[in-house]
Structures are given as structure tokens and as C-alpha cells.
Amino acid sequence: QRKVDAIDRAKPKAKQEGAMQAGARKYPVPPFPKQHHPKPGEEWAIDPAPLYDAPFWQGSGKLAGKVALITGGDSGIGRAVAVLFAREGADVAIVYLSEDRDAMTTKAAVEAEGRRCITLRGDVTKRAFCRKAVEQTVKALGRLDVLVNNAAFQVHSADFADLTEQHFDTTLKTNLYGYFHMAQEAVPHMKPGSAIVNTGSVTGIEGSKDLIDYSMTKGGIHAFTRALSGNLIGRGIRVNAVAPGPVWTPLNP
């Protein structure tokens, strides 16, 4: 990321008339080095480094004056969301499990966009922490307009017989209980026009033979999104989900 940023800065800048959706950028290509990161993975250790800051994206104030709380905001998709939300004008709170170095990098990236960022270290499987995270966000940043449920646990298991009870329990508690707890604690603080965005997955639609438990939870997230959107429509709170395919993040093996 740093190397690519340096190259981008060295290039002459042409006059831009308006915001661009994306810019031409050279992405890493195979072969990649063999590597495996113990869970929870850390973005700083990934080689090649993921691209997250979309330097050609010009914000247009879509989220000016808003506050977003993003779980799993220290790395991967969560970090990219945090940075681009900040570029659109939002102050950001990021929840993370234990990856302090990654969280500080995300905080610095958000602040480089001229926005405020607080970091909240804890476990979304615990309701008490989720309540505390929401309360601290509102206290520090003044409000809560957007909840991004993004924190997840994923470990490949090629043999169904090797999927242990502990592994299964951790996946469900993180990917389902975490989303449920965060949403239930956030809603009382959200005004009409607020939004909840849940990170689903293509595995929740198509399944994955090596990610049986993960696929189950992502399918559950899609159903949760549809059900909760109907439940909260009367309060003026939108609930949507995104279902990405594979992304180069610490979640991957």
C-alpha cells in the first residue's frame, strides 16, 4: 500500500472536473507467496499489502455530519469502509477484537481524511461489550447514524468431520450473535433516516464445501437483513446487506 501510494503521488496530476468512482491502479498479481495467518489475522502482516484507500475516489459529502460505527473496522473490508466513509464526511467508531496495530493504522487513515475516529477493543459475541461500544460511540461522537455489522470469524475445514463444536460455536457467536447484539443495542439510538448495513457473503447464497459453518451464518445474515428491514421500516431505519466474493483480507487463510 505504501509503495503504491508513493508511486501515485509521484505521478503528475491532471485537472479533475468531478468525483471519480475509481481510478486505474495496478493490482498485485500471482504468484503470491505462500502464507498462513493465525486467527485473528492481522493486515499489517499480509504480503502483498491489501489496497484499501481508493486514492482516486473524491468524496462529495454524502455522509457529512453523520456518525458510523463499524465492527471489524481495523482491517479488510471494515478498514476500507471506515476510510471511505470518512472521505464522505462521517466520523467513525471502529470495533475490533485484539489487533491494536491494525486499529491504529485505520484510525490514522480516517483522521488523515479530516474526520474523528475512536477505537473500541472488545468481543462482539458479548452483549455487554456491544452495549458499551454503542454508548461510547454516542458519548464521544454525539450520535449514531450508521451501523456496519462486519466483524466475522472464518476457518476452512475441508472434512466435515473435522468441524468441531468449539469451531462451530465461535463462528455462530461471532457472525450471528454479534450482528444481532450490535443491531439491538444500536437501534434505540438511531433516528429516522439511519441505516444498518450487514456484511453477508456469496457463500451465504451459493454455499462453500470448505466453509459449511461460515456459509450457514452468512445465509442467516441475509435472512436477518430482510426480516429486520421489515421490522424497522416503520421507524425509518433502512437495513441492507452486501454479499462480497473473496477479498484479500486477514479473514482469509
Q: Which residues are catalytic?
A: 214
What type of residue sits at position 133? A
Q: What distance in Å separates the CA atoms of residue 126 and residue 98, rounded to the nearest whole number?
A: 14
Strands 91-96, 117-121: pairing is: parallel
What type of residue sits at position 244? P
CA end-to-end span of the chain = 20
Taking CA atoms, 75 is separated from 48, 160, 197, in Å, by 14, 29, 17
Q: What distance in Å separates the CA atoms of residue 2 and residue 42, rounded to the nearest whole number?
A: 17
What type of residue sits at position 72? G
Contacts of 207 (CB under 8 A, 6+ apart): 215, 219
